Structure 1
Amino acid sequence: GVVWAGGGAGGNLQSGTTAQFADGQAYRDQAVVIALDAQAPIGVGIQHGWYPYGPPTQVTKAHGATAIELDYESAFEVYRRTAASRGDALDAQGFALFSMTHPLGIPQANGEFVIRDPISIGPDGSVRCVAEIPDGSLIRVMEGARGDLMDAAAGAATLARRGTPGALGGAVVFDCFSRYPILGEEIMDELSRVQGALGETTPLVGCLTLGEVGAMGGGVPQFHNKTVVVLALPG
């Protein structure tokens, strides 16, 4: 079968534009795809370490990456009330810091969640995210501690290793940029745990990405936020 792993290009959060490189040229607004035809299975692991913090709510109005209404109320009001129900006082000024560790999760049929990273509040109380919020979908406010995020990275590496039963030739890690401000210098511990799960002698490369690509449980690839995708290559 076909497995998927990848990530979004970044511009250091400053330029507002990104570039992709292929065949000695630079491109914008493109996707670069590499197809690998291996004689042995290629393993992929995807985990994030975020868990439900609030109850399910329905996206009753959305446009692209913006959730306008949840349960027919302004998205931020529902988000704020969810925080208040857990004893966390929240206003618009504190949103950026709070949302960093409380993203949105879209439930999947297999029990997993595809994560969306909320980044700003609109004047109408809408919540803008990094990637699409499907109109009519269910979402939940999520939470996670540093330990949960590091456990997830190690778990993704373990899943990738299981998918490649023989000797490994190397591995590639796509780790979401938005996890770095949470982990800080502990991101080195996260990478050490990834290396340990793959084997200390396994060559490892990777990058901090603005969104990750992969298929949870196989099937159609999806775009993720605040997630780790590990690709294990056979030797």
Structure 2
Amino acid sequence: MTDAMEHVPFEETIINDLLQNWHSQWPGMGVVALVPEAERNHIPLLQTLCHQHNIPLAGAVFPALVTDDSWSNTGIWLLRLNQQPPVFLFENVSALSGSVHNMAETLDPFIDLTDHGGKPTLFMIFDGMMPDIGRIVDGLYLRLADGVHYAGLNAGSETFQPIPCLFDETKIIQNGALCLLLPAWASMLLEHGYPAPEKVISVTSAESNRIISIDWQPAFDVYKHLIHDECGAELTPDNFYQYACYFPFGILQANNEVVVRIPVAIHHDGSIVCVGDVPANASLVLLRAPSLQDSQCVKQLSHRLQTDIPSTTGWPLLTFYCAARRIHLENDSLKELANLKKCTGATRLAGALSLGEIGSRRAWGYPMFHSAALLCGSWKY
């Protein structure tokens, strides 16, 4: 079995030799590239090399890379696709325009063409600064239904400042989406492991990813009181994100599942901006991030990977780990990665630190936009 995942330094000779070797064995191949933010200025070099070898390229920029049980801010993950699948880079995507219709109309004719032993996996990477990603995913599901598996994540900067973060062999864009129709075995599952408390509050006003009021009061005023009641801290705009990673919101679903939303900014009017949209009239709970010792996340995720999709044992595991989760677990995040590799029986972990995850906790479940989650699946090339 040839390893189809390579973490290499951003050096022209090394990347060129690897691409040349791969292309000689798989002339119809393509490449997925995961680039840490610190290395994004080197993307034009990768585009040039792929163009020279006539290799299709799809990639994104992330805060950092996952390399087994460590984080890396250098180098690049190159993931080989033995046969290039349909890949689409959509620009200026918004749920409020005709973007969802255009995306679905573009994807639909290719779905049956990529049915190799099962329905294909629609793997999506969004610019994490877009405010309505959840509604875009909902819109795609309404049009494509269960014709595909759904999995995805957000790219961008951990500073939450807009940057061009999605690319192919010719362009680097922001405010868009990168979609790949992968084989059926490339389905992925996610888990966050947050238990839901009993106290429920209500979003009385919201716009996209901005919570304006909770229980008819300015959102930040309510959040300050909740944090004070939980841990006695006095919340200010300056220390806001420090506590938000430990105390995110949870949106209660009709099936009793919880969708995590990480607050990332406060507007001057007292509204709270989250990663991921929050619907008006949603029922919220204040979540407390579990410690590694208390978390059942890896155990639950590993079990579902083994039972719901093809086994991960003996294969590399494509792994995306939420940036907010790394903050609240601190050094224990590395232990969680090590536990994940051990429990799944994966030969290695390859992936990135993400800014939100898309998928379901079970095979063929309804795809939703999550935060603070792990998203994983085998890479069986």
TM-score, normalized by the shorter chain, greater than 0.5 = yes
Decide whether the 8 Å contact of 2:162 with 2:174 is kept in 1. no
Shift in Å, 1:229: 1.1
Change (3 A) 1:183 1:85: closer
Distance between the aligned counterparts of 1:15 and 1:102, measured in 2? 22
Match of 2:175 among 29, 42, 54: 29
Q: Partners in 1 of 2:260 and 2:266 — Cα distance?
A: 18
Uncovered stretches (5+) of structure 1, i.e. residues with no partner:
none
Equivalent residue, structure 2, for 1:92: 236
Give the whole-Å Cα distance in 2 for the aligned partners of 1:91 and 1:188: 28
Query: Greater relative contact order: 1 or 2 (C-alpha under 8 angstroms, separation 6 or more)?
Result: 1
Equivalences for residues 131-150 of structure 1 within 5 A = 131-147=276-292
The structural deviation recorded for 1:42 is 5.0
Out of 221, 224, 233, the position equivalent to 2:370 is: 224
Q: 1:15 to 1:104 in 2, by over 3 A?
A: closer
Query: Aligned partners of 2:157 and 2:294: how far apart in 1?
Result: 24
Separation in 1, partners of 2:173, 2:220: 36
Give 1:51-130 correspondences, 5 Å limit: 51-53=195-197, 55-86=199-230, 88-93=232-237, 94-130=239-275
Task: Note the C-alpha offset of 1:79.
Answer: 1.9
Superposition pairs for residues 194-213 of structure 1, below 5 Å? 194-200=340-346, 202-213=347-358
Structure 2 CA distance for aligned equivalents of residues 124 and 22 of structure 1: 39
- Identify the range of structure 1 (58-67 vs 118-127) with the bigger mean alpha-carbon deviation: 118-127
Residue 152 of structure 1 corresponds to 297
Secondary structure at 2:331's aligned position in 1? helix
Matched AA of 1:145? P
What displacement does 1:50 show? 2.2
Q: What is the aligned counterpart of 2:189 among 17, 21, 45?
A: 45
- Which amino acid in the other structure matches residue 232 of structure 1? S
The aligned residue for residue 156 of structure 2 is 10
Identity across matched positions, percent: 25
CA deviations 1:175-198 (Å, max 9, x no partner) are 111222222232221111110121
The equivalent residue for 2:51 is: none
**Residue 109 of structure 1: CA displacement?**
2.3
Q: Does the 8 Å CA contact 1:5/1:231 hold for their aligned counterparts?
A: no
Q: CA contact under 8 A between 2:150 and 2:187: conserved in structure 1?
A: no
* CA distance in 2 between partners of 1:102 and 1:130 (Å): 14
Matched residue count: 232
C-alpha distance in 2, partners of 1:29/1:135?
A: 24
TM-score after normalising by structure 2: 0.55
Relative to structure 1, is the Cα distance of residues 148 and 20 closer, same or farther in structure 2, using a 3 angstrom cutoff?
A: farther
Residue 180 (1) aligns with residue 354 (2): no
Kindly state the Cα deviation for residue 82 of structure 1 after the two structures are TM-superposed: 2.4
**Preserved contact between residue 166 and residue 173 of structure 2 (Cα < 8 Å):** yes
Cα shift readout 1:5-46 (whole Å, capped 9, x = no counterpart): 2211113527521321234543332222222224xx555332
Distance 1:149 1:130, change over 3 A: farther
What SS is found at the alignment partner of 2:305? helix
- Aligned partners of 1:176 and 1:142: how far apart in 2? 16
Contact in 1 for aligned 2:210/2:277 (Cα 8 Å): yes
Structure 1 residues 164 and 134: CA distance shift in structure 2, 3 A: same
Decide whether the 8 Å contact of 2:322 with 2:372 is kept in 1: yes
Decide whether the 8 Å contact of 1:50 with 1:148 is kept in 2: no
Mean Cα displacement is larger for which, 136-145 or 118-127?
118-127
What TM-score, normalized by structure 1, do the two folds share? 0.85
Q: Which structure has the bigger radius of gyration?
A: 2
Q: Which of 2-11 and 206-215 deviates more?
A: 2-11
Pair 193,58 (structure 1): closer, same or farther in 2 beyond 3 Å: same
Partner residue in 2 for 1:215: 360
